[in-house]
Structure 1
Amino acid sequence: MKNLTGKSSKMYKNEEAGLSIVESQGKDDEVIEDNHRDVYSTDPMNIYLREMGSLDLLSYEEEIKLAQKLEEGEARIQRAVLRLALGLNTVNRLREGLERGNMRIGSVLNGISDSDEKELEVVRTSFLECIEEANSLNQQRVDLFRELREKVGNSEEEKLWQEIRSIGLRIVELFQPYRISSKKLLSTAKAVEEFNEKVRKVRVKAERESLLAVTYLFS
């Protein structure tokens, strides 16, 4: 049977079936595209790249200032850690790693090139000698601490404390030419921070107990 256009009903059915398939494929493509868009929008790396792309790039001068601030922060950590005997324990572990060949001087110190082996060996030798001198100074500090125990409350107590602090500063100055990797020192810095927090809590507790005792006596 033919319609007004001359096409048979069978031909119309075939065309309708084909159109249905095309529409179905189009919907499937839209679903796939939507899913792809969802995955792209929620992927952490893509989110990070989009966020970074929206930030203004630093100028050359700003990059220099940022690098200087990072170096200053690393230097403060190094000074704070190396003033303490605990910091020297960390440095001595680095010394053992260098002497056994488990560490390269380039991984211990920042700002040196790995391309010149002779220069690396010179820096390595100099750094090890610096550690030995620091250990010698630290032994003097240990002796002063022993002497201090016997003279607590004595007129010489403050003088001994000054000598102990002076040795800590001399050790810091020894390592000033070197930029020890902050990763090697951060664990020690964190341990010192946790220790200081414990001391602070003990001090606060002792002050509270002392205050309560005084209040009780005069109540």
Structure 2
Amino acid sequence: MTKPDAIAPLLNEHTWSLLRQAHADFHSEASEVYDEVLIEVSDRIRSSRSIGKADIGALLFWKRLRADTRWVRDLMALADSEVRDTTGHAVSAVNDAALDIASAAAEGRKALSALPGFVRGDALASALLTAAAPDRMAVYDRRAQSGLEKLGLSLSAARGRYGRYMAIVNGLASEAERRGHPWSPRQVDLALFALGGQKRIS
């Protein structure tokens, strides 16, 4: 495993080939409309500059997460205006050009932590932040974590994980661009998702 998880090291030829092939595999197998919900929600957020309960519900469906939980009931008990007030701060943070991507991610994630269901865990939170800033942020989930591990990259579950994840993703995007593949952070997370879902690596 690598050293600090806040900085993404360059990949060697073997690990780069794993990531590049995973990226190709995803795009050869996934539906062309895979991100339709994400794109639709992102368009609404761009107009409203906040994320409402209906948007969160759509992204919950897109990520195929359970909705029969206490935090969903608690979130639904809040006025949409209150939810939007909180998410508006997150939307502003991840789109703040004065902040580097990792810092913007950390600030956005911190803002969402005030809502029920967003105190711990980064899967749904990262989906919201990616919808809020699709050119800057990326989705984190268990498969992305597994993908990182298969590349020999370390990411701990300690507080502030999403900001550290985005530092790694940004480093991988820079590495891909250096190798002639100009991937966005979202393209990196799709490659990690595909790699993390592989049963075996040949």
TM-score range relative to shorter protein: under 0.3
TM-score (norm: length of structure 2): 0.27
Considering only CA atoms, is the larger Rg found in Structure 1 or Structure 2?
Answer: 1
TM-score (norm: length of structure 1): 0.26
Determine which structure has greater relative contact order: mean sequence separation of CA pairs < 8 Å that are 6+ residues apart, divided by chain length.
Answer: 2
